[in-house]
Amino acid sequence: MLKGVTLLKEDPFYSSGSTDEISKKLLGMLLTYESPEGLVGGWIVETEAYMGQQDSAAHAFKGRRTPSNEPLYGPPGTVYIYSIHGRYLLDVAAQPKGVPQGILIRAIEPTIGIDIMMKNREKHGVDLTNGPGKLMEAFGIADKKMNMEIFGDSQLDIHQNDKKIPAQIEESNRIGVANQGTWATKPLRYFVKGNPYVS
């Protein structure tokens, strides 16, 4: 976050198309976090789209709204951090305010602050950030304090103009939603083909 810059109320990029389309566009963009130890980050190589009230795998399925998932209902570009089995995961809210769709950042190819991330994870190589929980652990994020902030006006940022264009994007069903009926098989997971950091 740049000091002296007026805070954004939303980021129109995240409502510029369908959530699955935006999920693909995020691949190759640079994700960074201003950690207490220094800047960390890398190229986004894997995402998953969650389509809101219609999507039985989504946190806002059938309009479910709680204090925990409130960021999904926020303006486009809102930070949504949540925990599963003691691990923190990172989402960005997509679509206009009140439309609770989101994109899970599943993996990055680390490029910035690798030493910091290795210290946080006590791992190295592809195991450093090849999964959503691993990514957040590498960043050193273990709370939800940034929820409701906007990417770019937070310590978290996705640099839309700093991109490593993927040679080929592949898609598959999402991970960990096998019990969600027809939504379990929808191809809403996107990843950079051949990248070793894909989970």
Domains of the chain: residue spans and CATH: 20-162 (3.10.300.10)
pLDDT of 2: 42
Taking the C-alpha atoms of residue 68 and residue 182, their distance in angstroms, rounded to an integer, is 26
Taking the C-alpha atoms of residue 105 and residue 93, their distance in angstroms, rounded to an integer, is 11
* Helix, strand or coil, per DSSP, at residue 91: strand
pLDDT of 127: 97
HSE-CB at 40 with a 13 A cutoff on CA atoms is 24
Q: How do residues 41-55 score in pLDDT, each as one tens digit?
A: 999 999 999 999 999
HSE-CB at 195 with a 13 A cutoff on CA atoms is 29
Pairwise pLDDT comparison (1 vs 109), residue with the higher score: 109
Mean pLDDT of 165-192: 93
pLDDT of 8: 58
pTM above 0.75, yes or no: yes
